[in-house]
Amino acid sequence: MKICVFTLGCKVNASESESLARALREAGHTVTEKLENADLFIVNTCAVTAEAEKKSRQTAARIRALNPAAEIVYTGCACQKDPAAFLKKSNARLVTGVFDKGKIAAMLEDSGVKIAPERKDFEEMPAPETRRARQYIKVQDGCDNFCSYCIIPYLRGRSRSRAKESVKKEIDGAACAEVVLNGINLSAYRDKNTDLAGLMRYLADTEKRVRLGSLEVRAITDDLLSALKNMRNFAPHFHLSLQSGSDKVLAAMNRRYTAEEYLEKVSLIRKYFPFAGITTDIIVGFPAETEADFAETLALAAAAEFSDIHCFPYSPRSGTRAFALRDLPPAVKKERLERLLAVKENCRAAFARKNFGRAEKAVIEEEDGEYFVGYTGNYLRVYVKKALPCGEIGVIIKETFRDGVRAEIEGE
Ligand code: SF4
């Protein structure tokens, strides 16, 4: 049978879908991860924002346009939140949540709703098949933080982590140049007495480039940074979610750090990795965010010299504490978002300039016309005008180009 596994949302969902695709291939099915005609569709949904949830539901119409007779299995966070909304879709065969995704292949004979009970252990899934230069490796699931705007802890359950031996085995078996360790809350990684710094020490000799997914402010310590510094091939890129530069808004978000602490951690990162790429997420227009609060966010974003900013307007999520707060008018959020996008472009350009003339290692991932395109360790998107095999190569950063920089191969 030809099965399409279509994924929305975060990198954790992407890792889970790749594992699921492997299990289906091993069961003898032909699998595509592009939304194209198939006999059966498995949609791995997302509920992180109202928009993501809406797009998850709208996938049904896109599939009907491709194949009106195809049956659809819905899984993931949006189904965990509201299974009935998916079961009532025409052609819905099975609706499952976020637990026991690894059993979907075995469940294909079933129909109806199967929301598995919350798991307290880490669900091992088959290692994904590597078909890219970079592979995502899920090492943690769930979250205990309960940020006031976030629905994820209610859907994914409490934090649990993968055994370090299993993580190493998957990295060693992956046929790629770079692995990205990710989790819903990677900073909470704990396998018995091994925390995230301990995991990095355990993986120190890994030859493949190792990149980390999103980190919490409190996870940035001398212990973690020195463990990363001692790794054989660590990508010095830190995604450190800020969300707001106002202490008042951070407290209302239940983020458990202040703007000053955030900037201290940015300085600490640069003490160990002076050219680190530091990227962030910022929510614009959280309830009660005043113009003065937002000005603090803009000032912090400029002071932190981010290499990139992922910014988006606040969207209320039913079931969260912040849902009861009065939402700001959309026009206010839109206007603030535009100002933050201008800061983002300045930050991106300044970071590119800081790297001009520097030697970096780039992992080439794809072709774009006459260019080969990849990423440096500090996460600059690099265009190299030369035919290369995929893998890691030395480059010299030259100038700003398209959405990244142009580089030349080192030594040529
Ligand atoms: S850390 Fe906060 S934003 Fe991230 S998943 Fe946990 S509750 Fe949600």
Please provide the DSSP assignment of 396-407 as one string: EEEEEETTEEEE
Domain with CATH 3.40.50.12160 in the chain: 2-114
Is 153's C-beta closer than 6 angstroms to any atom of ligand 1? yes
The Cβ of residue 232 has, within 10 Å, a number of other Cβ atoms equal to 12
Compute the distance from residue 409 Cα to the ligand 1 centre, in Å: 40
Is 159's C-beta closer than 6 angstroms to any atom of ligand 1? no
Under a CB-based contact definition with an 8 Å cutoff, are residues 1 and 40 in contact?
yes
**Closest CA relative to residue 43, chosen from 15, 13, 22:** 13
- Domain at 356-409: CATH architecture: Beta Barrel (2.40)
Is 146's C-beta closer than 6 angstroms to any atom of ligand 1? yes
Question: Which residue has the least CA distance to atom 2 on ligand 1?
Answer: 147
Name the one residue in this structure whose structure tokens are 């291939």: 25
Domain 263-355 has CATH 3.30.750.200: yes
Structure token pair of residue 357: 């003339």
What is the per-residue pLDDT for 131? 59
Compute the distance from residue 183 Cα to the ligand 1 centre, in Å: 11
Compute the distance from residue 143 Cα to the ligand 1 centre, in Å: 6
Atom of ligand 1 nearest to the CA of 255: 2
Domain with CATH 2.40.50.140 in the chain: 356-409
What is the per-residue pLDDT for 389? 61
What is the per-residue pLDDT for 344? 98
Nearest-angstrom CA–CA distance, 189 and 137: 13
CATH class of the structural domain 2-114: alpha beta
Is 145's C-beta closer than 6 angstroms to any atom of ligand 1? yes
Instruction: Record the pTM.
Output: 0.92
Is 185's C-beta closer than 6 angstroms to any atom of ligand 1? yes
Is 147's C-beta closer than 6 angstroms to any atom of ligand 1? yes
Under a CB-based contact definition with an 8 Å cutoff, are residues 325 and 288 in contact?
yes
Question: Which residue has the least CA distance to atom 8 on ligand 1?
Answer: 150
18 CB-near residues (< 8 Å, 6+ apart): 33, 128, 129, 136
What is the per-residue pLDDT for 384? 93
Print pLDDT tens along the chain (412 aa). Answer: 899 999 999 989 998 998 888 888 888 899 999 999 999 999 999 999 889 999 999 999 999 999 999 999 999 999 999 999 999 998 899 999 898 888 888 888 777 777 777 878 888 887 766 557 899 999 999 999 999 999 999 999 999 999 999 999 999 999 899 999 999 999 999 999 999 999 999 999 999 999 999 999 999 999 999 999 999 999 999 999 999 999 999 999 999 999 999 999 999 999 999 999 999 999 999 998 999 999 999 999 999 999 999 999 999 999 999 999 999 999 999 999 999 999 999 999 999 999 999 999 999 988 888 999 999 999 999 999 876 566 788 999 999 999 999 999 987 6
What does DSSP assign to residue 243?
Answer: B
Q: What are phi and psi of 384, to 5 degrees?
A: -120, 125
The Cβ of residue 272 has, within 10 Å, a number of other Cβ atoms equal to 15
Q: How many Cα atoms sit within 13 Å of 376 on the Cβ side?
A: 31
Please tell me the total number of residues recorded for the chain in this structure. Answer: 412
Give 111: exposed, middle or buried? Use CB within 10 Å, 0-12, 13-18, 19+: middle
Q: What are phi and psi of 312, to 5 degrees?
A: -155, 155
Domain with CATH 3.30.750.200 in the chain: 263-355
Q: What are phi and psi of 7, to 5 degrees?
A: -120, 135
Under a CB-based contact definition with an 8 Å cutoff, are residues 392 and 176 in contact?
no
Atom of ligand 1 nearest to the CA of 143: 6
Atom of ligand 1 nearest to the CA of 243: 3
What does DSSP assign to residue 216?
Answer: -
Domain 130-235 has CATH 3.30.750.210: yes
Residue type, 405: V
Is 241's C-beta closer than 6 angstroms to any atom of ligand 1? no
What is the per-residue pLDDT for 129? 62
Compute the distance from residue 151 Cα to the ligand 1 centre, in Å: 8
Domain with CATH 3.30.750.210 in the chain: 130-235
